[in-house]
Amino acid sequence: MNFLLILFLVVKPFSFDDPNRLPTKCETCKYLTNEISESLMKHNSPELIETGYNFDERSTKKKAKKYRDSEIRLIEVMEEVCEQILQYNVHAERSGSLRYSKGESQTMGTLKGLRDRGVKVELGIPYDLWDTPSAEITQLKKYCDQMVEQYEEEIEDWYKKERDNITLTEFLCEKRILKENEKSCLSEKFVENKEEKKDKEKVKKTKSDKNKRDEPKKEAKTDKSDL
Specify whether the CB–CB gap between 31 and 61 falls below 8 A: no
Q: Which tops the pLDDT comparison, 131 or 174?
A: 174
What are the tens digits of pLDDT across the range 19-28? Answer: 447 899 999 9
Answer yes or no: is pLDDT of 202 > 60: no
Specify whether the CB–CB gap between 172 and 154 falls below 8 A: yes
pLDDT at position 104, please?
84
pLDDT at position 18, please?
44
Q: What is the C-alpha to C-alpha distance for residues 36 and 56, in angstroms, rounded to an integer? A: 36
From 79-83, 114-118, 139-143, the region with the lowest mean pLDDT: 114-118
What are the tens digits of pLDDT across the range 46-73? Answer: 788 776 555 555 555 667 788 888 999 9
What are the tens digits of pLDDT across the range 75-105? Answer: 999 999 999 999 999 988 888 999 999 988 7
Answer yes or no: is pLDDT of 127 > 80: no
From 169-173, 176-180, 197-201, the region with the lowest mean pLDDT: 197-201
Answer yes or no: is pLDDT of 138 > 70: yes
Long-range contacts, 117-123 (Cβ 8 Å, 24+): 117/206, 118/2, 119/2, 119/3, 119/5, 120/2, 120/3, 120/4, 120/5, 121/5, 121/7, 122/4, 122/5, 122/6, 122/7, 123/7, 123/9
For all residues of the chain together, what is the average pLDDT? 79
For the beta carbon of residue 112, count every other beta carbon within 10 angstroms.
Answer: 19
Cα–Cα nearest to 170, from 158, 152, 181, 160: 158
Answer yes or no: is pLDDT of 181 > 50: yes
pLDDT at position 61, please?
62
Percent of the chain with pLDDT over 90: 44
pLDDT at position 74, please?
96
pLDDT at position 214, please?
59
Q: Which tops the pLDDT comparison, 221 or 179?
A: 179
